Amino acid sequence: MLKLDFHPAGRHFLQIPGPSPVPDRILRAMSYPTIDHRGPEFGALGLSVMDGIKKVFKTTQPVVIYPASGTGAWEAALTNTLSPGDAVLMYETGHFATLWKKMAESLGLKPEFLGLPGVEGWRRGVQADMIEARLRADTGHAIKAVCVVHNETSTGVTSDIAAVRRAIDAAGHPALFMVDTISGLACADYRHDEWGVDVTVSGSQKGLMLPPGISFNALSQKALEASREAKLPRAFWSWAEIVEMNKEGYWPYTPNTNLLYGLSEALEMILGEGLDNVFARHRRLAAACRAAVTAWGLEIQCVDPAVYSPVLTGVVMQEGVDADAVRKLIYERFDLSLGTGLGKVKGRMFRIGHLGDCNDLALMAALAGCEMGLRLAGVTLRASGVGAAMDYLAQHESAPRLKAVA
């Protein structure tokens, strides 16, 4: 028999940039008995989670919840709005932007990939001026959609989505605007309506603190209109029937009820804490983490402080050090999971997640594991990152602690 708890002595520290640790409240909520997805209680559950999730996206428009992982929501965004051969402008912020572009190709679209040369684009945010210039040049409006990643999970860069909106507007271009905030939602501020996003893609296993298995498309009226003309074949992902049935709190096919229980609990936790408090908590932990990396004398993958991610920090290894060997040592010695370097930066960096249900001491545990592991791996550290992070956290008070007892 396979044991499902793989970490016999003591709790495992899961500090990857998602899935993030699932709080006990959510795990308990998920373990309630499954109910009839056509019964009256289900409708109440459905309406409740749809109402809550709109607040997190800061939208009043429909948010489609898929019983699928985030990759599926990428596909849904594209197939609902576009037709075979459509040109799409995408921006290379890192590995996940690259995967989304590959998907667009697989689906028969014609993505054009903007970006800075070499790995430079993987260390900075979306350059809105490049998008604006490209759209201005597209006088025939061949480009049907602009697709960018809000928080690039592979690098730890959180791009300025409002700036991209302004760029599209400045170019007077009618393209749809699609944003992937799979790892950004409920960690960094995000404003679907205010920023004029047409489709926002997100997932459950990051800031929402759920296990993987739920993903989202937040829509705009323009996106819904586009979906009526779009010719890419689609069925499972098709918005029309879902949006219609969602009005009563139901789905055209079987939703994953138990993860919706988890979503209900997650929304209560997040909206209870307050979105602004959630964002501030993430920012503070990220700053402490960067203080550690800087003290160690290591480079942060993101080189533009304006777009440091509150979700994760990419730690660049010195020349000659294999980041994955360091990760493996830390995993085996200290029961700490860190994110691997992906794509162009494989072996060059590792990623520390500090998102979702994270707090000061969980971060300190992770940093202590990193510091011990780096030293054991023979990496020369300039100073104690743990000490620097403690200094930061001690000097910067967090939001007043929540009163759990009403």
- Tell me the window of 118-126, 161-169, 219-227, 382-390 that interacts with a copy of itself (CB under 8 A): 382-390
Assigned token pair, 123: 């260390």
Residues 21/23/356/210 CA torsion (nearest 10 deg) = 80
**191 is an interface residue for a copy of itself by CB under 8 A:** no
The CB-of-9 to a copy of itself minimum distance in angstroms stands at 6
User: Which of 291/307 has CB closer to a copy of itself?
Assistant: 291
User: Which of 197/288 has CB closer to a copy of itself?
Assistant: 288
Q: How far apart are CA 152 and CA 159, in angstroms?
A: 8
Assigned token pair, 30: 């998920």
**378 is an interface residue for a copy of itself by CB under 8 A:** no
**4 is an interface residue for a copy of itself by CB under 8 A:** yes
**2 is an interface residue for a copy of itself by CB under 8 A:** yes
Long-range pairs, 103-112, Cβ under 8 A, ≥24: 103/71, 103/74, 103/75, 103/78, 104/78, 104/147, 107/75, 107/78, 107/79, 107/232, 108/84, 108/232, 109/78, 109/82, 109/84, 109/85, 110/85, 110/86, 111/87, 111/147, 112/87, 112/88, 112/143
The CB-of-3 to a copy of itself minimum distance in angstroms stands at 5
Tell the residue number behind the tokens 């794509």, with chain if given.
343
Does an H or E element contain 262, and which? helix 257-273
CA distances from 222 to 22, 84, 216, 218 (A): 35, 19, 17, 12
Could you tell me if 112 and 137 are in contact, meaning their C-beta atoms sit under 8 angstroms apart?
A: no
Number of residues that bind a copy of itself (CB under 8 A): 119
The CB-of-143 to a copy of itself minimum distance in angstroms stands at 20
The CB-of-326 to a copy of itself minimum distance in angstroms stands at 13
The CB-of-299 to a copy of itself minimum distance in angstroms stands at 22
Does an H or E element contain 136, and which? helix 128-137
**80 is an interface residue for a copy of itself by CB under 8 A:** no
Q: How far apart are CA 28 and CA 44, in angstroms?
A: 20
**398 is an interface residue for a copy of itself by CB under 8 A:** yes
Binding to a copy of itself by CB under 8 A, coded x per residue (else -) over 227-266, reads -----xxxxx-x-------------xxxxxxxx-x--xx-
User: Which of 38/141 has CB closer to a copy of itself?
Assistant: 38
**173 is an interface residue for a copy of itself by CB under 8 A:** no
**362 is an interface residue for a copy of itself by CB under 8 A:** yes
The CB-of-167 to a copy of itself minimum distance in angstroms stands at 27
Q: Is 351 annotated as a binding residue?
A: yes
CA distances from 367 to 13, 150, 305, 360, 388 (A): 11, 26, 21, 11, 10
Assigned token pair, 148: 């960018």
**337 is an interface residue for a copy of itself by CB under 8 A:** yes
The CB-of-259 to a copy of itself minimum distance in angstroms stands at 6
**296 is an interface residue for a copy of itself by CB under 8 A:** no
Residue of 98, 188, 387, 388 that binds a copy of itself (CB under 8 A): 387
**289 is an interface residue for a copy of itself by CB under 8 A:** no
**172 is an interface residue for a copy of itself by CB under 8 A:** no
